[in-house]
Amino acid sequence: MKMPRAVILCLCVVFAAEMAARMMVRTGRLEQDKSLQKLIEDNLYALKQYQPRVWFIGNSTLEFGIDVEGLNKELNISGIKLCHGGATGRGSGAMLDLYLHSVSFRPDYVILVITKDDLNPNGLNAKTSKRYLQVMTWKKYLLLNYSYLRSIRGSLYYKISTLWSRVFVKKEDLPSWREKYQLMKIDIDQQEATRAMMENYIFDSEGLIFFSEICRHHGLKNPGIILLPITADYVAWHNREFPAMTYPTIRNRLREMCRALGITLIDLGDPLANRDLFRDLFHLSPQGSQYITELLSQKLSPVIQTERKF
């Protein structure tokens, strides 16, 4: 059966557009949109290019909470942040497995950075982490970028809309036009999101075991965990909601599990009353990040410098 000319023409157009998209990305004229695929690609590039000795892995609390570049200078180490939004300890373990399968070297130290909500298997972060857990099964497919044309659609839309607005939209109408035609607008109720993170809170011992087994499977001898602080107000809220699993109880359980699994715990989780140190109830502000990074440097220095086993 002969293929219709229209179909052949369509395929040629798609192929030409795909090649053009790849060329424009490589020349820097367009950028790939932010996505899990792009995040994985960027992290793998950094890991292979710099082969950092210390891996800090976690979610946005790590991203905002620890100045790894500052630690690198202070401790004379080569560290990297591997951040995945909403990842629990279990989700971070899955992403760690992906990276270790994809590089030819092993870090000297892997440190999981968490807050108390990353130890809840029923919360919002646990739901988000299902995506990361799928990576372990489908990693060989996720590492392939099948379509650059698809991955630049946001950047392409921005370029076209910017050109359109310069030609056809009056200057005084620009703010309302941009608001109407922006690609995506997400309104997040911070209080509801926080409530969802601690929904039906229980301590996820299995998640810590999962992280420990990933480290053991890849021959990592020095796994560690850093518990970051949250606000005193958030601790009080949590304790009212879950009197049987209070914040001090969570910290005690974490210590017990780390001791049993042979993981060194650096507990920086003392509640902080100064709200200037936080962006919200659990994300540190730049001032808070500086404070915690200085404190962490003191705690981490003897571990890294003497290279003792975590």
**Whole-angstrom distance between the N-terminal and C-terminal Cα of the chain?**
66
Does position 134 have pLDDT exceeding 90, yes or no?
no
State how far the Cα of 147 lies from the Cα of 58, in Å rounded to an integer. 28
* pLDDT tens-place string over residues 223-245: 999 999 999 999 999 999 999 99
148-160 pLDDT tens trace: 666 666 776 777 7
Distances (CA, A) of 219 to 42, 44, 90, 223, 290: 24, 19, 18, 10, 33
Domains of the chain: 31-147+192-306 (3.40.50.1110)
Q: How confident is the model at residue 288, as a pLDDT?
A: 97
- Where does the pLDDT of residue 163 fall: very low under 50, low under 70, confident under 90, or very high at 90 and above? confident
DSSP 8-state assignment for residue 4: P
What is the per-residue pLDDT for 195? 92
Q: In what order do the strands lie in the sheet with 54-58?
A: 79-83, 54-58, 109-114, 223-227, 264-267
Percent of the chain with pLDDT over 90: 63
Beta carbons of 151 and 33 less than 8 angstroms apart? yes
Model confidence, pTM: 0.82
Query: Could you tell me which residues are beta bridge partners of residue 110?
Result: 55, 223
The pLDDT of 255-283, averaged and rounded, is 96
- So what's the pLDDT on residue 18? 73
CA distance 264 to 222: 8
Look at residue 139 in the predicted model and tell me its pLDDT.
60
Condensed to tens digits (0 to 9), the pLDDT of residues 17-41 reads: 778 767 777 777 767 666 788 899 8
Over the chain, what is the mean pLDDT? 87
Q: Which of 178, 189, 174, 279 is nearest to 228 (CA)?
A: 279
Q: Is there a contact between 151 and 37 (Cβ–Cβ < 8 Å)? A: yes
Task: Output the CA–CA distances (angstroms, integers) from residue 185 to 18, 30, 181, 182, in the order listed.
Answer: 27, 21, 10, 7
